[in-house]
Structure 1
Amino acid sequence: MTRTNRLLAGALLTGLALLTPAGAALADDPSASPSPGASGDGSGPTEAGTTFRTATALQPGQRATAEASTGDYLYWVFPADAGERATVDATITLPQNAARHGTSTWQVDVYDGLRRRQACMYGRQTGKAVADARTVELKCVLRTVRAWSEPWADDPLPGSYYVRLTVVDLPSADLGLPVRTEVEVTSSDRGGSADVDGTLSKPLVPGVSSVAQTTDGSADDGDGDGDGDGSTRTVALGGEPEDGWASGWWTDRWLWTVGGGILGALAGVFGYSLTRGRGRPSHVPPHA
């Protein structure tokens, strides 16, 4: 093998090595850690909304707690961006069994910014608690959020996602009993394997909160005249990811695109060098 061919072969091997991390990044790792923007101590809000409109904002990585009565509908809202897969974990701590009269059934549901109910890929979305049970643990793993989808499709899209927790079946005598709830949302980035062509012009973040805030941090009285010392601003429901919507332009597909182009060019040069060696020797003059 000539020196040129050896160099080309080495370049091909280098290109393959560059593609190896990209292939590993595409693996569907079920034990992916929460997003880097998650709160380190996991502290979160200590109350829950009772409607979609009053849902309490929650960031991925935070743990929200709330004291409620059995039969209440509890709502939280969190942001999810393209390429992310969110997991919702809910724990309900029930009162002493002496105060309860039978089995209760609890359920956690997740809705997108258009209030379409999103199916769980896996997890225990509904759970029953017998009369002597102390806690109920629920889990919902959502599908990966897509950057774009057909209008008729029910795919999850970037924007706000609502978590609704409630009891769906219980003895009527148990209505109103106090319960304690804990909800935690974690998010993992699925990498370039979740990329699609096209993006939404805006994330699905419906409405604004009913309470405006002044620039000095105090709450306005809601009449819209900005009585506080600072000017008022509206707060979008669910907020947005800490690094902004679709902030990351870098994906694993860039590695595949650049690496594939390099390998294609090297393969062309290598093939040309092989075919050129079989041609007419340069020192032999052509026939007249």
Structure 2
Amino acid sequence: MALSARFYLACLLTLFGLGLGREISAQVLRRPVPDKLIVLTFDDAAVSHATFVAPLLKKYGFGGTFFVCEFREPPFSDKTKYMTWAQIQGLHRQGFEVASHTLSHQHVNKMNRAQLGAELDSIEARCRAWRIPRPVTFAYPGYDTAPTATALLPERGYQFARAGGGRAYAPTQDNPMLLPSFSISGTDTAKVFNAIRQAHDGRVVILTGHGVPDVAHDWVTTPPALFEQYLKYLHDHRYHVIALRDLARYVNVPEALRTLPPRYENLK
């Protein structure tokens, strides 16, 4: 049976708790996904990640992933807006995940394979120079995805790649290179709390933040008071908050890549 046909049949059977759906679920999952599992991610190397976000995460005992890049505009050299590499190294030393957002925030659908490889090389070289582990997760700049990336990233040893889309991640349905997430930017608290509450019945909620606040790109800022409100809610309601790399505890990545075809829709 062709892989795509097998996948769609599995989805139908899963709805009824039958045969092939159960088989694929058992192969893709290393262990059951618990309710209230949240992944926190932060993009763009905003300086507030080091000065505000990381201390709060430590306060509440939460994990998190910081997707770093070196923006061209406003320039990464402006340290009133972006972290230094010493601060990024500090995130790693505190136990957080440092991961790849390309070097220059280039959208993957505008690059060929060699160009994307060069962008990955550059961030990996920065990490190596600062004694930060080689990234194993990736975030798509602008939430733009492309087959070039979903093919190259696993070859380079990446386990998960995060996009957008405003929906929960279903490990038995979503390819590991195309994880959906919810944005926490702005002031719509109802949207964020509604997203958080979707972490049940095998679904994982991945939250995407930028600066808290974001002084480089104010249209994606999260007000600090609201961010702390979200963390307090997660803590008080006993959510388990992890970094993106930690999903490998639950997901058999090679099997998920083999079994679950990429679906590029609904990821912006």
Structure-2-length-normalised TM-score? 0.23
Q: Which has the higher contact order (CA 8 A, sep 6+)?
A: 2
Q: Larger % of helix: which?
A: 2
Q: Which of 1 and 2 has greater Rg?
A: 1
Q: Larger % of strand: which?
A: 1
